[in-house]
Amino acid sequence: MNSSERSTWESETPVLRCSDLHKTYGSRPVVKGISFEIAPGEAYGLLGPNGAGKTTVISIVCGLIYPEAGSVELCGKNLTRRDRQLRKLIGYVPQEIALYPELSARANLEFFGRLYGLRHRQLGERVQEALTTVGLFDRANDKVANYSGGMKRRLNIAAALLHRPRLLVLDEPTVGIDPQSRVSILDTVSDLRDQGTSVLYTTHYIEEASRLCDRIGIVDAGTLIAQGTERDLLEHLDGSRSVTLQGKGDLDRLAAVVKSWPDVECVHVSNDAIDVSCSSTADIVASLVSTAVNTKVQVHGVEVREPNLEHIFMSLTGKELRD
């Protein structure tokens, strides 16, 4: 997204505005003051590990649960428990498949379309439109029970598109499917965004957030710890780089030494590797290898990487995205 696009978005009423959302289950707070906005035609990603609070946030947005504090606005109007008309602006794609397996794809969509108030010719047109959008028109009369996992997820999306929502909310829509289906889903969502649909997309896959989302909010332990374009978030690292050393031995001892070095920002050990985030790699590589040898770590390889979203997450939280 360029600066002119951003200024245009900022001048328009957000399709979605979440303000200071809080939610607690029992004595455990799971959402702690999360606030963000989504502009018309913008794809906003909530990126974080499983259990970070992403699903709770979108459940609040969709009215499935209610926060103890905070507010949700759709197209400038406060979303209340009783405002069903306003909720029709949302198309929700849950993480779990919400389809009737013994019905055909077409019958499933006709059923959900009637729930949206669609009838007769309009219903038929919308069903055909949704099936075409997700690439399932040729399999419309097949039972969902005979669909692959990826096809079911695509049909799940089609059901959320029948009423042409202003905001499409997707909760981890590519979990557990094959690469081809994942690409198809990402292409579909990208096309919908380009056609003007606003998107709220939760994921723990970095590459999906990077490819699809105009802006990204990083969520950890119920808190929105950073948000912005990918470029904005990379600037947060102030030029940070990452050096990964793969090897066998006492990596924890090596990490303890490396953490004290002046240019080092973060050190993480996992899977026979030590990952070092640093402001400069000029002297780090040689020092890291030398120190590894001195601590009796058998070095198998060293890799220097440019900053990316995973480095941002590690820098902000001190742990890997998929922890």
pLDDT digits (tens, 9 = 90+) for 68-90: 999 999 999 999 877 888 989 99
Q: What are phi and psi of 160, to 5 degrees?
A: -80, -10
> Is 310 or 109 the better-scoring residue by pLDDT?
109
Task: Say if residue 9's pLDDT is above 50.
Answer: no
pLDDT at position 54 over 70:
yes
What's the whole-model pTM score? 0.77
For residue 221, pLDDT beyond 80: yes
For the residues 5-26, what does the mean pLDDT come to? 79
Q: Does residue 21 contact residue 222 with C-beta atoms inside 8 Å?
A: no
Segment among 11-15, 115-119, 167-171 with least mean pLDDT: 11-15
Q: What is the pLDDT of residue 239?
A: 56
**Would you state the pLDDT for residue 240?**
61
Mean pLDDT of the chain: 90
Check residues 166 and 323 and name the one with the higher pLDDT.
166
Give pLDDT, residue 191.
96
Q: β-strands 16-25, 28-38: how paired?
A: antiparallel
Q: What is the pLDDT of residues 143-160, one digit of tens each?
A: 999 999 999 999 999 999
What are the CB-based long-range contacts (under 8 Å, 24+) for 84-88? 87/62, 87/63, 88/116, 88/163, 88/165
pLDDT band for position 310 (50/70/90)?
confident
CA–CA gap between residue 311 and residue 243 (Å, rounded) = 11
Integer Cα distance of 225 and 22 in angstroms: 15
